[in-house]
Chain A
Amino acid sequence: MKFNILLITLFYSCISVAQTPIDTAKTEEEDFSMYADVEAASSTDKSKIYCSQKILGLSPSKLISIGFDFVGANAIDTDTIGSYFGNTADFNNNSGIRFAANFPVISNNKVILSLGVNYLDFKYSAVAKENNINPLINSLNKNGLRSYGINATLFKPFNAKLFGVLQLAADHNSAGKLDQFHENAIKYSGAAIFGCKPHDRLQYGLGVSQSYRGGALNYFPIILYNYTFKNKKWGFEMLLPAKANVRYTINPRNLLFAGFELEGNSYYMDPMMTNYNLGYRNIQLQRSEIRPRLTYEFSIYNFIWLSIQAGYRVGYKFNVDNVDYKADPLIMNNKVSGSYYFNVSLNLVSP
């Protein structure tokens, strides 16, 4: 009797384990057509489908990027400022380090929120340093330009086709040293886009932007347009007027681009005011340039990509303005010559 109890117990235990519904992987061929006709497991499940942030074939976004930018020989024809006459300064080159990181702190079907940091340190190397007494040239030569900031990007899909993008950024742009913080150097920019993704190869949107890409603070409409052709070899990646590229996909890990970028910012020129008796309290260098270029991006190991870019830098604006008196004419109306440039960066790209 006692043994019987034990045997029954063991038997029951074996049965209960054996009944555990384990569906092991099968190697035999399966009829996949049966999976076409399904229904939601939960009758109360009203799950909504949301469009994703990307389209097929779109170049991967960069999570971490560290790069080197080099602009070849060029000249700046400076205006007179105060008692300092303008002159032409030749530069051997301008070069700098660029660093950017973006962390997707929230990333799911319903919302993607990325927080980022960026740093740019640009040096100017004048040919005849001792002959240049112009405050702008001296400041650039000794201090260069420096920019660092934070940004946040929110991607919010509303349904399977419609989405919104909100981007906010705060940057500290100046000719001062890294530890020289000044409120006049802080610049806020932002953009809002309402877009549509009709299918997996197209997304477009329309929005507004507050930006310093043109050198000074500007408000302008922006157009987002990303498209991949059916053959998935060619495509467009555009955020006008900031940048536009034609993309050629050699394969998903080797991409070629031809396009341009409008790049610029406004820099608080504290060394000019500190070192020279100019009588201004808030003068800003308004730098803006257009960069037509060719870019080759490829994976060197899994998600580590190298980007090589070469093109021509067209100096669009390099003026100095007293922003406390916006109605007044520019303090310096300078001209920058064009020059070739290249950029190489190492990137950790997004899934």
Chain B
Amino acid sequence: MKKYIYLMVSILILTISKAQTSEVLESDKIVGLWEVGSGKARVKITKYGDKFGGKIVWLKEPTYPDGTKKVDKNNPDETKRTIPLLGYNNLLGFSYKGKSEYDGGTIYDPENGSVYNCNISLQDDNTIEVRGYIGVSLFGRTDTWKRVTLKAK
């Protein structure tokens, strides 16, 4: 009888463990390198704690005409206007809500220094739809990002 109980507990632990792992894996599908719809920037999405965020890791035009590196010069906070755009954390605070949806986050647009509410929807393993909006989702715009991978050396 005791042997049977041990076996059942083991199966239960395994089942719970696998379920948790699969949920974690499901949510982590967003992690990786993504190219924005215009093809002018690439964003690396990572996980920190139980949240997801992203930073700009590549810009098609990383410098100004005078050769200096692009910075966050449109930020309303003057103290942040010298921060380089390359490496800038432009996606913050996303939580996985199940069914390939991530919400509760924000996206920053360096072009005008505005922060928008943002939802991300994983369409397939290599496509996400990033919707920035004001207040309610109706007032927004969706951009489709494609996954890219580093070329093997």
- Do A and B form a real pair? yes
Enumerate chain A interface residues (CB-CB to B < 8 A): 2-3, 5-6, 9-10, 12-13, 16-17, 20-26, 30, 32, 34-42, 45, 47, 49-52, 56, 60, 63, 103-105, 107-110, 112, 160, 200, 230, 251-253, 302-303, 348, 350-351
- Binary per-residue interface labels of chain B (135-153) against chain A in the complex, 1 for a CB within 8 Å, 0 otherwise: 0001111111011111100
Contact of A35 with B147 at beta-carbon distance under 8 Å, contacts A22-B47, A104-B138 already known: no
- Chain B residue nearest to A18 (CB atoms) is B21
A251 adjacent to B74 (CB under 8 Å): yes
Looking at the assembled complex, report how far the CB atom of B73 sits from the nearest CB atom of chain A, in whole angstroms: 9
- B139 near A103: Cβ-Cβ < 8 Å: yes
B13 to chain A, nearest CB (A): 5
Q: What is the chain B residue whose CB lies nearest that of A16?
A: B21
- List B residues at the A interface (Cβ < 8 Å): 2-3, 6-7, 9-10, 13-14, 16-18, 20-21, 24-25, 28, 31-33, 35, 37-40, 42, 44, 46-48, 53, 55, 57-58, 65, 74, 76, 86-87, 89, 109, 111-114, 116, 125-127, 129, 132-134, 138-144, 146-151
8 interchain residue pairs of minimum CB distance: A13-B17, A41-B147, A38-B148, A108-B142, A35-B58, A25-B48, A9-B10, A2-B6
- A50 contacts which of B37, B111, B114 (Cβ < 8 Å)? B37
* A39 CA / B69 CA spacing, docked (Å): 25
Once the chains are docked, how many angstroms separate the CA of A52 from the CA of B12? Answer: 52
Contacts of A39 in B (CB 8 A): 148-149, 151
What is the bound-complex CA distance between A340 and B9, given in angstroms?
85
Q: Which residues of A contact B74 (CB under 8 A)?
A: 251-252
Asked if residues A41 and B37 are in contact (CB atoms below 8 Å), the reply is no
Closest B residue to A252 using CB positions = B112
**Pair A351/B116 contact, Cβ less than 8 Å:** yes
A3 to B113, CA, bound (A): 59
The one of A12, A32, A109 in contact with B17, judged by C-beta atoms closer than 8 angstroms, is: A12
- Complex Cα–Cα for A108 and B129 (A): 8
CB-based nearest B residue for A8 = B10
Chain B residues closer than 8 Å to A60, beta-carbon distance: 112
Residues of the B chain whose Cβ atoms lie less than 8 Å from the Cβ of A105: 138
